[in-house]
Amino acid sequence: MAAASATLLKSSPVIDKFEWVKGQSLRQGSATFVQRHPTSPSALTVRASSYADELVKTAKAIASPGRGILAMDESNATCGKRLDSIGLENTEANRQAYRTLLVSAPGLGNYISGAILFEETLYQSTTEGKKMVDVLVEQNIVPGIKVDKGLVPLPGSNNESWCQGLDGLSSRTAAYYQQGARFAKWRTVVSIPNGPSALAVKEAAWGLARYAAISQDSGLVPIVEPEILLDGDHGIDRTFEVAQKVWAEVFFYLAENNVLFEGILLKPSMVTPGAECKDKATPQQVADYTLKLLHRRIPPAVPGIMFLSGGQSEVEATLNLNAMNQSPNPWHVSFSYARALQNTCLKTWGGRPENVKAAQDALLVRAKANSLAQLGKYTGEGESEEAKKGMFVKGYVY
């Protein structure tokens, strides 16, 4: 690809006076544009991904009406914590059994358009010997892959973190594409109690932008996830203030890295008060603040806003999403939930084979509820007490 790009750039025509010239395409949908200022000694070259058409198509497929994303990309260590909560040992066989339960739930594709996988799962087969990826595709669910390498302390910051994983990302994303993945996810976080410092915000934005550009170059639609952690006792206005700054920085660097906005998905936090704030927000307040911020910061070219739940209860996350879909939006406003889809399902299963169907039914209940919320038709009637329990964990490590 690098050699092809070099050849392409050498052969691209260049003219002065700010005229844009379309060069040869690497693949269908690829284009190179060369701009030279009359007094500039060198050209500024911007190349769209050779997968541009495919990226747009994939993003639109995931951002389809009434559907959202199942985030099941917990690392093996995090998956182990989930299994431990129901008394199961963290073994590959137990992780395989649970993931098989999730991907094979009958009719899941009616409500779920994409599933984010951990690397082990991308290459794993179900307990029946069928590739997990193939099971998802048969359900009309696009397979995705978590590509970041986790959070580590950020030197020079106020006890904040940065996300690692850019080293070797190009070769990894190319291999994931060959394995059947068509979108990727990179999660970085910003902590309000710890600042956030300008350094942490810039590091988060730059990392997301570099990841997005590399992913698109490999044919993967990047999910851009700048999570504003729920930790803290701050009010909703403070969350809005911080998120406004973070989102501005993220989209500035996405543009600087020539990321195709039509070929990404944004996975932000909803604008809510801190989890320890005494003043709780109603779903309508969360919707008002969040939609106001979306309109201020997110270009309508972005096809989908796939919210994370971030420790909200299953019902709370669904009610908030429903409130945001009471009138038309420029984007597909939907969900990319992990715990808010899986919590009741996991507890219903309990590691017992005889409970698989009941657990899958619990998953489908949550998936359908959020499908209705994406359409603005969720009522909240008949929800269990378990689904109403909050799942915030202070200092949660993913």
Give CA–CA dist 94/184, Å, rounded: 25
Does 222 sit behind a cis peptide bond, omega within 30 degrees of 0 on the bond before it? no
Residues in contact with 288: Cβ distance below 8 Å, sequence separation at least 6, in sequence order: none
Backbone φ, ψ for residue 10 (5° rounding): -65, -35
Q: Would you call 225 a catalytic residue per the annotation?
A: yes
The single residue of 146, 267, 314, 383 carrying the catalytic annotation is 267
Q: Would you call 267 a catalytic residue per the annotation?
A: yes
Compute, in degrees rounded to 10, the torsion defined by CA atoms 315, 320, 322, 327.
170
Compute, in degrees rounded to 10, the torsion defined by CA atoms 332, 338, 342, 346.
170
Give CA–CA dist 274/192, Å, rounded: 9
The single residue of 54, 74, 203, 225 carrying the catalytic annotation is 225
Residues in contact with 372: Cβ distance below 8 Å, sequence separation at least 6, in sequence order: 66, 322, 378, 379
Handedness of CA 292, 56, 326, 365 (dihedral sign): negative
Beta bridge partners of 72: 117
Give CA–CA dist 281/183, Å, rounded: 33
φ/ψ bin of 340: left (φ > 0), alpha (ψ from -120 to 50), beta (otherwise): alpha
Residues in contact with 330: Cβ distance below 8 Å, sequence separation at least 6, in sequence order: 295, 300
Catalytic residue numbers, as ranges: 225, 267
